[in-house]
Structure 1
Amino acid sequence: MTLNQTKAPEIGEEIAVIKTNHGDIKVRLFPEASPKAVENFKTHAQNGYYDGVTFHRVMKDFMIQGGDPDGTGRGGESIWGRSFEDEFNPEYHNLRGSLSMANSGPNTNGSQFFIVQKSDVDDGFIGQMKKAGKDGGFSDEVIEAYEKLGGTPWLDFKHAVFGQVFEGMDVVDEIANVKTGANDKPKEDVVMEKIEIVKYK
């Protein structure tokens, strides 16, 4: 069995194209797993909320984070004007390439998100996942996906996964490798020029 998260999109499925000054990142969205997070992201994208916004926090071998119009990591809000609750699903995890909600604690989701860039998982975490097992949210398929792809399992059930990059991980890697300064902020702006919501062809 293959995880739905790692499957290619189907023709006609809605996807997001994050157009950056480093290239395009194409993402499958998972409304069945995180309906509010997807609605929030799609509506912000279609309203131009993310146009010209930076990836303000970039950490090589970890993740790239954006979605704050202030560019500080402290700004941004949801389409409802307030924080919304976490949506966790045992079938969706913070694998390499996952698009997940950034937050400052439980149920504090706003407009910020990150893409996991880490390409491996420490053996210690694999052991912990095996010990936790399916009842702990880590099926054999999930553990296998982490072993194959990499990712950040310690963020599972803390940051809701609502999408997965299926094309453009080379762009994510390039962004993750830019020079950064204080607070992991890129020295030269990494800009999301636009996020388009389109049907996959």
Structure 2
Amino acid sequence: MIKKHIFGTAVLFSTLFVIAGCNSNNHTASSSSSLATTTETSEKIDVNKLDLPQLDPAVKDNEDLVELQTDKGNIKIKLFPEIAPKAVENFITHAKKGYYNGLTFHRVINDFMIQGGDPKGDGTGGESIWGEGFGAEPSNQLYHIRGALAMAQSQQPNSIGSQFYIVQNKDDMSDGLLKEWIPNKIIEAYKKGGYPSLDGSYTVFGQVTEGMDVVDKIAAVKTDGNDKPETPVKIKTIKVLQEAKTK
């Protein structure tokens, strides 16, 4: 059976988008419980004391910085190898080898996300640098706030390959989030957009530092019935501008 990755034809995401897309209040509480069940130490710590690197615009020595160059403009994104090591290694290695050069954003949903990284260009392709899929790395330090970079996956376990997405939604998504599980600063960030219903199940491994206007520009292109841009939006290349010194 052909499996499309996140936001494709897989039941998981077609169903999720229908529920979440209709009313932003429908999914927020479930996102908190999802994160709680996937974070083993959540009950033992004060979530408001967690390091939240997405909220710091500076690129630290223990973070990578890449520039995703598209035909709509450039997007700078910092990556978090200490929190999502496999996702970052996979993405950085693919970028260095030119794997993403010339690929498209094959799935674009305005007020949701833009998705790319599939050599087939239809959501069914792509592989990891290890030649097989790997599992999600959810964290209580990284969230699907606006500008988050995350790895796509299908319904199957260990199905992460090369596809990624950038969260673009601008709507206030903070209503109903449980403060005992979600840091207050993240709840504040969700007032500016994001998609908290994805937290706890997918790997966030980066955050846009410059170029959200480009993300918005890509999200606004005209698409067909399958959310594929009618005029292809291409990734020219992904340049590694800084590598973490702790690697």
Tell me the TM-score normalised to structure 2 length.
0.74
CA deviations on 1:76-114 (whole Å, 9 max, x unpaired) are: 000001110110110100000000011112431110000
State the alpha-carbon separation in 2 of the partners of residues 99 and 18 from structure 1.
11
Unmatched tracts of structure 1, length 5 or more: none
SS of match in other structure, 2:185:
helix
Partner of 2:88: 38
Which of the pair has more CA radius of gyration? 2
Q: How well do the aligned residues superpose, as a CA RMSD in angstroms?
A: 1.7
State the percentage of identical aligned residues. 52
Aligned partners of 1:65, 1:6: CA distance in 2, in Å? 22
What SS does the corresponding residue of 2:187 show, helix, strand or coil?
Answer: helix
Aligned to 1:117: 168
* Residue aligning to 2:230: 187
Matched, 1:76 2:126: yes
Q: Counterpart of 2:175?
A: 126
Provide structure 2 residue ranges, at least 5 long, that are not aligned to the other structure.
1-47
> Are 1:27 and 1:165, in contact at CA under 8 Å, matched by a contact in 2?
yes
Q: CA deviation at 1:11?
A: 6.5
Per the normalisation by structure 1, the TM-score is 0.90
Is the CA contact 1:11–1:199 (under 8 Å) kept in the aligned structure 2?
A: no
C-alpha distance in structure 2 between counterparts of 1:176 and 1:144, whole Å: 23
Distance 1:76 1:118 in 2: 25
Higher relative contact order (CA 8 A, sep 6+): 1
8 Å Cα contact 2:64/2:80 also seen in 1: no
Counterpart Cα distance in 1 of 2:201 and 2:60: 31
Q: How many residues align?
A: 192
The 2-side partners of 1:8 and 1:99 are apart by: 14
- SS of 2:169's equivalent in the other structure is coil
Q: Offset of 1:14 from its aligned partner?
A: 2.7
Query: Do the aligned residues in 2 keep the contact of 1:15 with 1:29 (CA within 8 Å)?
Result: yes
Residue 87 of structure 1, aligned match among 137, 148, 155: 137
Q: Distance in 2 between matches of 1:84 and 1:159?
A: 12
Could you tell me which of 49, 52, 68 is aligned with 2:102?
Answer: 52
Q: 180, 184, 203: which one pairs with 1:140?
A: 184
Paired residue for 1:4? 53
Shift of 1:171: 0.3
For the pair 1:152 / 2:195, whether they are aligned, the reply is yes
Q: Give the 3-state SS of the residue equivalent to 1:26 in structure 2.
A: strand
Letter in 2 for 1:25: I
Alpha-carbon distance between aligned partners in 2 of 1:195 and 1:107, rounded to the nearest angstrom: 25
Determine the C-alpha separation between the residues in 2 that align with 1:197 and 1:166: 14
Which position in structure 1 is the counterpart of 2:25? none
Instruction: Give the structure with the higher percent strand.
Output: 1
